[in-house]
Structure 1
Amino acid sequence: MASDDQHVPVFSKPVTLRDVAAQAGVSVATASKALNDQGRMTAETRERIRETARRLGFRPNSLAQSLLR
């Protein structure tokens, strides 16, 4: 039986590109282009998306990226 003073680690799911896009108020495609330095958008939009990704702790999924190569 666990006592109240024991802490069980809580693992949250990784932040996805979809999460970043939703928080930044853009489409997933726009968020992807901004984070990969592609596509046409204002510098403000690109920076807003990058800042949102930083704030949320977004890390690209290397397995997903390898599927594209």
Structure 2
Amino acid sequence: MNVQAKPLSEITRHAIDLLSKEMGIVDTVRFLNQFTTGYGDYTEEREDVFKDLTLDEILAAIKKVRSPETG
């Protein structure tokens, strides 16, 4: 059995069309964004951003943002 492989660009286009028809464009974009590659060095940036904070301070800030009182 000889199967002709389609170009990846064609497969991608078809998959996006199917997803957007089934889920809508917004959910399709959200789904695809989870697979995009970021840029920069997160480890280095994280260490720089949080270098003067303790773990307790970071956790308190997260809890404050998640609090229903903050809107």
Q: TM-score range by the shorter chain?
A: under 0.3
- Which structure would you say has the larger RCO, counting Cα contacts within 8 Å and 6 or more residues apart? 1
**TM-score (normalised: structure 2):** 0.26
**TM-score (normalised: structure 1):** 0.26
